[in-house]
């Protein structure tokens, strides 16, 4: 299966307008944003767990990264309420589910193979700082290595961001609205831009909160190759 699989193109998906697609597990539905592969795939998705639903135990051979958007996600390691940012590195395993239901933004098979760093943080408890690298906007850093950088950016009303992204980038609007080129991005709208691009975004009158990842698309072909060889 291929969805938004041309990584040389700019892609915008207004995920709230997509239908929910059933996964192999009852009560777990998905809105795919991009995907290369079948049930095991390099994928970016919005995933909804109905109350009491769960996945069977499994290993993340290619790693898993997710942000809890609504409700409380759970596994045998703990409870993860709204705002939880998790990185489960390659070869990690768990049994995910949700007693009361949740929605998460999740990325699979997009780690470096030797990465073994687990990250678990509650972003709503973190204080953002003005960052000159992001037009002096307020930024909450989530993760950074030589391969990629992940952050949450808080835009005040009408604040703008101009950012050169040599390694490509993607962003998910968590709250508010953002104008990027000719697209108005609303809650849970997703943007991906290819390598050697520029993001030019301006928040609306109510501001915006945005999850952003930069750098990772420099390795996308190797990610896909590793998946096929797994």
pLDDT digits (tens, 9 = 90+) for 110-153: 999 999 999 999 999 899 999 999 999 999 999 999 999 999 99
Query: Span 18-122: which CATH code?
Result: 2.60.120.10
Backbone angles phi, psi at 216, to 5 degrees: -70, -25
State the pLDDT at residue 219. Answer: 87
Q: Residue 92's beta-bridge partner residues?
A: 60
- Residue 198's pLDDT band (cuts 50, 70, 90): very high
Query: Span 123-218: which CATH code?
Result: 2.60.120.10
Closest CA to 44 of 132, 131, 107, 130: 107
What is the C-alpha separation between 100 and 53, in angstroms, rounded?
Answer: 9
pLDDT beyond 90 at 227: no
pLDDT beyond 80 at 230: no
State the pLDDT at residue 224. Answer: 84
Any idea what the Cα angle at residue 15 is, between residues 11 and 17, rounded to 5°? 115
Which pLDDT tens digit goes with each residue over 86-105?
999 999 999 999 999 999 99
- Give Cβ neighbours of residue 129 (< 8 Å, ≥ 6 apart): 138, 139, 140
State the pLDDT at residue 202. Answer: 98
Domain 18-122 shares a fold with domain 123-218: yes
- 174, exposed or middle or buried, with CB in 10 Å at 0-12, 13-18, 19+? buried
What is the C-alpha separation between 102 and 99, in angstroms, rounded?
Answer: 9
State the pLDDT at residue 228. Answer: 79
What is the C-alpha separation between 39 and 22, in angstroms, rounded?
Answer: 12
Q: What is the pTM of this model?
A: 0.96
What are the domain boundaries of the chain? Answer: 18-122, 123-218
Which pLDDT tens digit goes with each residue over 46-101?
999 999 999 888 888 999 999 999 999 999 889 999 999 999 999 999 999 999 99
State the pLDDT at residue 200. Answer: 97
Which pLDDT tens digit goes with each residue over 159-192?
999 999 999 999 999 999 999 999 999 999 999 9
């Amino acid at each position: 299966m291929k969805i938004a699989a041309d990584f040389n193109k700019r892609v915008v998906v207004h995920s709230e307008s997509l239908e929910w697609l059933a996964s192999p597990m009852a009560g777990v539905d998905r809105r795919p944003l991009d995907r290369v592969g079948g049930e095991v795939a390099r994928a970016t998705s919005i995933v909804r767990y109905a109350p009491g639903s769960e996945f069977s135990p499994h290993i993340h051979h290619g790693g898993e990264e997710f942000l809890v958007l609504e409700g409380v996600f759970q596994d045998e390691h703990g409870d993860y309420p709204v705002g939880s940012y998790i990185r489960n590195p390659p070869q990690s395993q768990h049994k995910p589910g949700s007693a009361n239901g949740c929605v998460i933004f999740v990325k699979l098979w997009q780690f470096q193979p030797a990465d073994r760093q687990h990250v678990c943080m509650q972003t709503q408890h973190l204080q953002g700082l003005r960052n000159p690298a992001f037009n002096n906007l307020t930024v909450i850093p989530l993760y950074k290595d030589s391969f990629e950088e992940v952050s949450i950016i808080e835009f005040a009303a009408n604040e703008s961001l101009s950012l050169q992204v040599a390694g490509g980038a993607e962003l998910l609007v968590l709250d508010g609205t953002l104008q990027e080129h000719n697209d108005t991005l609303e809650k849970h709208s997703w943007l991906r831009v290819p390598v050697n691009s520029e993001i030019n975004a301006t928040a609306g009158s109510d501001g915006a909160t945005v999850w952003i990842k930069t750098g990772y698309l420099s390795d996308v072909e190797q990610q896909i190759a590793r998946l096929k060889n797994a």
